[in-house]
Amino acid sequence: MTTTEEVNEPIPLVVVQGFLSSAGAYFWGDFGDYLNKDGPRRRTIFVSVGPVSSLHDRACELYYALMGGTADYGAEHSKIHNHARYGRHVEHGQYPEWSPNRPLHFLGHSMGGPTIIKLQSLIKQGHFGSEVHPRMILSVNTISAPFRGTQAVYLLGERVDGAPAVRPLSVGAFVGRTAHILSFLSPFLPPALDMHADCRSLTYRDASLLSLLKQLWRSDWAESRDVTPFDTTFQAADERESDGEGYTEPETFYRSHVAVMTRRNSLGNFHSPSMYRITSPFMYFFARRLGNFDFSTLRPRPSFLDHDSKSLGEEFWANDGVVPVFSQWHPHPCSRTRCQHEGKKANDVLEPGIWYVKSPEEDTHHLSIVPRWTATDLQRRFWVDLGQWLTSVEGTRRKSNTV
């Protein structure tokens, strides 16, 4: 079955941003001319979700931002994680017509990728009701997504042997305190600094200065399992995968874009960044540290570490400055999902239910493709290719709907 609207109007693209990112369309820039180069203009919807919130909370906020209504985090989840069941009320959803007959395309950068997968998983579990179906997500494109965790989170402050505990004088602890201060002051702050902490009663209207100081000393939120940093640990990713999250849905098209700024060095499978990347000192430093990380120090041991780290391929150390390559591919190991990695197989037929893993032709770091628009050749090629791919997904869907 097709509707007139589906035929005449390209299906909108929903953009989901990553950790600490909520700057939106202004920051992502003028990519529209390239996205729509070969066809009618496609609507792009930027959705704001908690920049430090857990995947569960972000996925719930994403759903209600599109549909409208009061964010419902679920009775069980809110009880376990000690926050209110209901959050912000969205008067006018950004796409209230979202339904199995009016699906949407999704694009996620960094934690935006696992957020979309979590949304599809919650939809499948019936979290949003029986009328909501996983095929409402027609396609998923991800860029530098840490589906299976990243060692960067331990370098930033998460304890290697005791997550979700955070080391006191670390970047992670600083970010946690900043999130509390921004939440306390949120009624005065612009949307770009919105922490989406409505269900936690952290504003100056709901919480005293003394309780803020207590949270700055030791945060119930930053050191919980209900926050982005814990969700980027290998432990949390293993838990999601053993709960059966992240398997592909038969009517959704999936593609991941893998960035890498390192090369294998002379020490086995370890990786190092190219010297010219020293001009991006933060990325260079982290790429080096991720490139020789000792996974054997982690407790609990990650599921991929069957015996010892010598058995791991170089994709565990190759990285984009924030996320290792193996984690950017897709949820689950290749042996337990359906995937097709560029250059390995020659099947060009576009099929739903399979992860198409795409690698850029050149050295790229975590922020090269998105979010900051600088109109590089790489960015322009990315958006043109994405526009064409979305159009071909719609063509494939139309064909299968009319058979």
Smallest separation (angstroms) from Zn ion to the CB of 274: 25
User: In the bound complex, what is the minimum distance in angstroms from residue 334's beta carbon to Zn ion?
Assistant: 3
Our finding on whether 334 is near Zn ion (CB under 5 A) is yes
Place of tokens 């955070």: 166
Binding segment toward Zn ion, per CB under 5 A, in 91-99, 239-247, 263-271, 329-337:
329-337
Q: Which of 22, 112, 55 lies closest to 227 in space, CA to CA?
A: 55
> Judged by CB, which is closer to Zn ion: 236, or 283?
236
Query: Residues 42, 58, 81, 255: which binds Zn ion (CB under 5 A)?
Result: 81
The answer to whether 379 and 31 have CB atoms below 8 angstroms apart is yes
Q: What type of residue sits at position 240? A: R
CB of 80 to Zn ion, least distance (A): 8
- Smaller CB distance to Zn ion: residue 11 or 339? 339
CB 284 within 8 Å of CB 321: yes
Query: 375's torsion region: left (phi>0), alpha (psi -120 to 50) or beta?
Result: left
CA distances from 272 to 15, 140, 157, 322, 389 (A): 31, 30, 22, 13, 33
Q: Segment near Zn ion (CB under 5 A), from 41-49, 105-113, 278-286, 323-331? A: 323-331
Asked whether position 226 contacts Zn ion by CB under 5 A, the answer is yes
* Nearer to Zn ion among residue 360 and residue 387 (C-beta): 360
Scanning 4-12, 140-148, 270-278, 339-347 for contacts with Zn ion by CB under 5 A, the matching segment is 339-347
Q: Which residue among 10, 11, 34, 57 contacts Zn ion (CB under 5 A)?
A: 57
Residue 195, interface with Zn ion (CB under 5 A)?
no
Question: Parallel, antiparallel, or unpaired for β 104-109 and 86-90?
Answer: unpaired
Q: For the chain, what is the largest distance between any 2 Cα atoms, rounded to a whole number of angstroms?
A: 65
In whole angstroms, how close is the CB of 126 to Zn ion at the nearest point? 18
Q: Shortest distance, CB of residue 226 to Zn ion, whole angstroms?
A: 4
Q: How far is the CB of 272 from Zn ion (least distance, A)?
A: 24
Q: Does 67 bind Zn ion (CB under 5 A)?
A: no
Question: Which one, 203 or 359, has the nearer CB to Zn ion?
Answer: 359
Q: Rank residues 147 and 329 by Cβ distance to Zn ion and give the closer one.
A: 329
**Which one of 160-168, 221-229, 251-259, 297-305 is the stretch in contact with Zn ion (CB under 5 A)?**
221-229
Kindly indicate which of the ranges 81-89, 153-161, 286-294, 364-372 contains the residues binding Zn ion, using the contact rule CB under 5 A: 81-89
Q: Quote the CA–CA distance of 176 and 42 in Å, as a whole number.
A: 37
SS3 347: coil
Size of the site for Zn ion (CB under 5 A): 6
Choices 7-15, 140-148, 177-185, 226-234 (CB under 5 A): range interacting with Zn ion: 226-234
What secondary structure does DSSP assign to 117-168, as a single string? HHHHHHHHHTTT-TT--GGGEEEEEEES--TT--THHHHHTB-TTTTT-B-T
Nearer to Zn ion, 223 or 226 (CB): 226
Contact range with Zn ion by CB under 5 A, out of 29-37, 187-195, 236-244, 324-332: 324-332
CB of residue 345 vs Zn ion: minimum separation in angstroms? 11
* Tokens coding 230: 């814990």
Cβ atoms of 121 and 128 within 8 Å: the answer is no
Cβ proximity to Zn ion: between 81 and 180 the closer is 81
339 binds Zn ion (CB under 5 A): yes
By the rule CB under 5 A, 245 interacts with Zn ion? no
Which two three-digit tokens encode residue 165? 């505990």
Helix axis angle, 112-125 to 55-67, nearest 10°:
80
What residues contact 101, with CB distance under 8 A and at least 6 apart?
Answer: 1, 3, 6
What letters, b where the CB count within 10 A reaches 16 and e where it falls short, cover 180-208?
A: bebbbebeeeeeebbbbbbbbebbeeebe
Q: Which residues bind Zn ion (CB under 5 A)?
A: 57, 81, 226, 329, 334, 339
